Structure 1
Amino acid sequence: MGLFKKNPFGHILFLKKWLIRIFGALTHRRFRGFNELQIEGSEIIKDLPDSNVLFISNHQTYFADVVSMFHVFNASLSGRTDSIKNLGYIWNPKLNIYYVAAKETMKAGLLPKILAYMGSISIERTWRSEGKDVKRQVKMSDISNIGKALDDGWVITFPQGTTTPFKPVRKGTAHIIKKYQPIVVPIVIDGFRRSFDKKGLRIKKKNILQSFEIKKPLEIDYENESFDDIVKKIEYAIEQHPSFLKVISKKELEALDELNKKREW
């Protein structure tokens, strides 16, 4: 690679590679040390094409969720199965991984700006700004930037647009899926809310078993499925559909209690 070769967003790849290496080294123990990341389904990553892949996930912290995905994706591509053991995988990271984030979040301080350089597609939220509810039109440049990122590589998005669980999935994700027809890979994470603060920068509690499940790509009829159909499919895939809030039986509660005991290994 040329020393000053850039990606479609003007970021110098050499600099981006070193930022990923440094932050990868600094954050590794957050997922394998202070806490333990239990991964399922990483074999799916190895079979994906180099571009036009959209990862959809539930959201628990601002930054730790994305950082864990950088670790898991790169470890999987380097031949590890359901493991981020040995940090050598971060030396030659995949440089065309992007993630969708709120513009105001990525401008709030030096660290978010550095993290943004590592792959953020910063967009203006249409429903919330500076802690207040708003209503504004979607910026077409935001949509086209997501399309540009999909054309170049992989994109991570959190379709609820918030770290609050069981909030509705935003229709914007369905619009992107219909428009660009990517391979859509669901991810379900858990344990991050307990182990990190809301921003995902500070370790709140140690010895938490964090789970990270990669599911098979969704089967989507891009031409005939409605936006509402795709939204519902996303909600079920990332386990955020309201039906997951059903009354839990005594047997399920006991099983959940046993799982929580295992989380504090």
Structure 2
Amino acid sequence: MGLFKRNPFGHILFVKKWLIRILGALTHRRFRGFNELQIEGSEIIKNLPDNNVLFISNHQTYFADVISMFHVFNASLSDRGDSIKNIGYLWNPKLNIYYVAAKETMKSGLLPKILAYVGSISIERTWRAEGQNVNRQVKMSDISSIGKALDDGWVITFPQGTTTPFKPIRKGTAHIIKKYKPIVVPIVIDGFRRSFDKKGLRVKKKNVYQSFEIKEPLEIDYDNESIDSIVEKIEYAIEQHPSFLKVIPQDELEEKERLNRELRDW
């Protein structure tokens, strides 16, 4: 790799590699130390092609969700199995991983700008801006940027566009799936909202049961399936359909966290 080789968005890969290494080292204990991330399905990652893969996930914090995915994806590609033990997997990270994020979020400070360089596809939200509800047209340049990222590698997106659970799936994700025909891999995360603050930068509680489930790719008829049908599949796949809505009893959460502590100490 040439020292100043760039990706399609103009980011220098050598710089991006070192940012991933440094940020990975700084955040590793958030998922294996303060907490113990329980991973399922990492073998699915190893069998994916190098590009045109779209990961869809529920959303619990601004940044911790994506950071955990960088850890899990790279660990899986390095034959760690369902574990992120030993961060040596970050020495040669996969550099063509991108994630969709709100432009205003990624410009809100130095750290978000650094995280943006790591792989953000920053888009303008059509329904929310600066804390206010808005209604504006999708920018075609944003859609093209997601297509460019899919052509180069893997893209992570949060189809609800918010960390509030059980909000509607944005149809834009279904349109992207119809247009670019990626392999669509669902991910379901849990416990991040309890262990981190809303931004996902501060640990607010330790020994929280965190889970990270990678599911088999969705079966989609790209040419004939309707947008509404794809939206419904996404809702079920990331467990944000109203039928999943339930309150987990406090004693069940406490038992999961007790087991999490035992696993961590084992």
TM-score interval, normalised by the smaller of the two chains: over 0.9
Q: How does 1:220-231 map to 2 (within 5 A)?
A: 220-231=220-231
Alpha-carbon spacing, 1:16–1:244, altered in 2? closer, same or farther (3 Å): same
Aligned partners of 1:259 and 1:24: how far apart in 2? 26
For 2:200 and 2:132, locate their aligned partners in 1 and report how far apart those are by CA, in whole Å. Answer: 22
Aligned to 1:259: 256
For structure 2, list consecutive stretches of 5 or more residues without a partner in the other structure: none
Q: For residue 110 of structure 1, what is the amino acid of its counterpart? A: L
1:79 corresponds in structure 2 to 79
Counterpart Cα distance in 1 of 2:235 and 2:12:
36
Residue 209 of structure 1: CA displacement? 1.9
Once the two structures are TM-superposed, the CA of residue 253 in structure 1 deviates from its matched residue by 8.8
Provide the C-alpha distance between the structure 1 equivalents of 2:241 and 2:150, rounded to a whole number of angstroms: 26
> Within the alignment, does 1:16 sit opposite 2:12 as a pair?
no
Judging changes above 3 Å, is the alpha-carbon distance between structure 1 residues 179 and 64 closer, same or farther for their aligned structure 2 residues?
Answer: same
Deviation of 1:150 (Å): 0.1
Alignment of 1:195-210 (within 5 A): 195-210=195-210
C-alpha distance after superposition, 1:133-179 (max 9, x if no partner): 00000000000000000000000000000000000000000000000
- Structure 2 counterpart of 1:176, one-letter code: I
Q: Which amino acid aligns with 2:167?
A: K
Match of 2:159 in 1: 159
Is 1:62 matched with 2:62? yes
Q: RMSD between aligned alpha carbons? A: 1.5
Residues 81-96 of structure 1 mapped to structure 2, 5 A cutoff: 81-96=81-96
Aligned-partner Cα distance in 2 for 1:5–1:161: 32
TM-score by length of 2: 0.95
User: 1:62, CA displacement in angstroms?
Assistant: 0.1
**Percent of paired sites with the same residue:** 85
Moved more, 253-262 or 11-20: 253-262
Residue 166 of structure 2 contacts residue 241 of structure 2 at CA under 8 Å; is this kept in 1? yes
> 1:220-261 CA deviation, whole Å, 9 max, x = no partner?
00011100000000000000001112688xxx9976664354
SS in 2 for 1:81: coil
Is the CA contact (8 Å cut-off) linking 2:59 and 2:165 kept in structure 1?
Answer: yes
Aligned to 2:215: 215
Give the SS at the match of 1:169: coil
CA distance in structure 2 between the partners assigned to 1:93 and 1:254 by the alignment: 39
Unpaired runs of at least 5, structure 1: none
Cα distance change on mapping 1:3 and 1:229 into 2, 3 Å = same
